[in-house]
Structure 1
Amino acid sequence: MHPITDPPLDSLKPVAPDLWIVDSGPLRVFGLLPLPVRMCVVRLSDGTVWLHSPTRYDADLHRAILRIGPIRHLVAPNVAHWSFLAAWQRHCPEAVSWAAPNLRRRGPVRRAGLRLDHDLGEAAPAAWAGDIAQAVVPGGLGFREVVFFHRPSRSLILTDLVVNLEPHRLPLPMRLAARLAGITAPDGRAPAYLRLVVRLRRAEAARAAAALLALEPERVLFAHGAWFARDGAAALRRSWRWLGL
């Protein structure tokens, strides 16, 4: 097991009523750098289950989720987090797949033949609007990240707009690189390249971010690193200072 990951891996971990996380990985960025990755699991008020940024498929994990409820929604929240979707589709044929704007246009997605049933927008679809609000944070070069707010637990669910890697878990060379990129705990931000991309549409992104902060989330979850388990709104304001908020 890689020290950068947060065991137990590929297992449900309760966060709040009807909200769980699954830690997995590591992913290899550019085939080299190890990176932890996380999925969020929500049981909707109709008893069905919503998977955000699905991590690698695991049969035991699947069975554990089915004890919560039937999996009906698979969410690819930005143009980078889709590579495990197909495996979950094969094992959950009744589930609907939801894609971030522009995801279906990406060459790797088209070449993979990935099935994407619906594109996500600013408004939550009827299937989960009663439980989860959503917004789109835009960037240049086709980047979009759809952000979700789980109303019952007051939890904000991001993907890559915050990366907060714990330095003591990183190999020494990666520790230095992560610090230079501004993605180390306790003050992790979006990676440097992503900050540049989002700044290409900074005014729109800042408006979207301000509206999300106005929700005053109690906790903030994201795909990579130590999530904000308390004082979520304050921690996120620090993390998003680069947006000029």
Structure 2
Amino acid sequence: MCAPPCAPYIASSFFLLNHQHAPESLRRCYSRGDLKRLDVFKVRFGPFARYGFIPFGGRSTAIKLSTGDVWVLASTPLTVDTKETLDKMGPVKYIMAGDFVHHLFLGEFKKAYPQAKVIGVDGLGAKKKAEGLTMDGEYGKDPADTRYGFEDEIKSCYFSGFQNKDVAFCHVSSKSLIVADLFFNLPPNEQYSKSKPPFKLPFMGTLNWHSSILKSMLYSLGKDKECVISLPVVID
């Protein structure tokens, strides 16, 4: 696999497969910055309960590139506070979808930042076109050697063999791994640090990214396991 070499820091954004109530449940978002580089790395998090009662939470991640432009993995709403945070970082140039199901808020980010490129995964172009949004790039559909403009600072690896067609990103200078559904880092203590979860479920504590239960669950989501295993190493 290409992602683990970046594992010292994981910013994982969790989402649901049934999206009907997602926007309202994620409207309360809070921010934190990377402890080493507050001007470079921002994570936006908030409460979210899958199916209305399983507390997962959600995260978006923004990185300020050396050019001054901002790269955003947009998995939570663009609230007023979120936009203020992004505007202070710099001009948003890249709006990213981490996989096929992290797409709900791409439109509102694009509306706020019309000059930014919106980049997702294979299949999102057709899906979002019906909603009036044009994708500027799709991992898995575009040629494998396609460069979108941030690759010198943020490496990527497309997991076509994973159910949600996830992309793993690695911010090279901070050694930060940024994923959508390839990893889960539960229980969602940070996401619910400013609010109470709807329910306390004992098994959530067993779903941290070291647990065998989580590994088994993620393994089951691999629809083409040989493809995933054969992926090249992006960063040694």
TM over 0.5, shorter chain: yes
In the alignment, structure 1 segments of 5+ residues that lack a partner are: 216-245
- Structure 1 counterpart of 2:79: 58
1:1-245 equivalences under 5 Å are: 9-17=29-37, 18-26=40-48, 28-106=49-127, 109=128, 111-121=130-140, 122-123=144-145, 125-139=147-161, 143-166=164-187, 174-176=201-203, 178=204, 183-184=207-208, 187=211, 189=214, 192=217, 194-198=218-222, 200-208=223-231, 211=233, 215=236
CA pair 70-140 structure 1, distance change in 2 beyond 3 A:
closer
- Specify the code of the residue in structure 1 equivalent to 2:183: V
Pairs aligned (count): 198
Are the aligned partners of 1:167 and 1:184 in contact in 2 as well (CA < 8 Å)? Answer: no
* TM-score between both structures, scaled by the size of structure 1: 0.68
Q: CA deviation at 1:127?
A: 1.2
In the alignment, structure 2 segments of 5+ residues that lack a partner are: 1-24
CA pair 19-166 structure 1, distance change in 2 beyond 3 A:
same
* CA distance, structure 1, for counterparts of residue 160 and residue 182 of structure 2: 11
Higher-helix-fraction structure: 1
Task: Report the aligned-residue RMSD.
Answer: 3.0
Does the residue aligned with 1:90 lie in a helix, a strand or coil?
helix
Higher RCO structure (Cα 8 Å, ≥6 apart): 2
Are the aligned partners of 2:53 and 2:199 in contact in 1 as well (CA < 8 Å)? Answer: no
CA pair 191-159 structure 1, distance change in 2 beyond 3 A:
farther
Give % identity.
Answer: 20
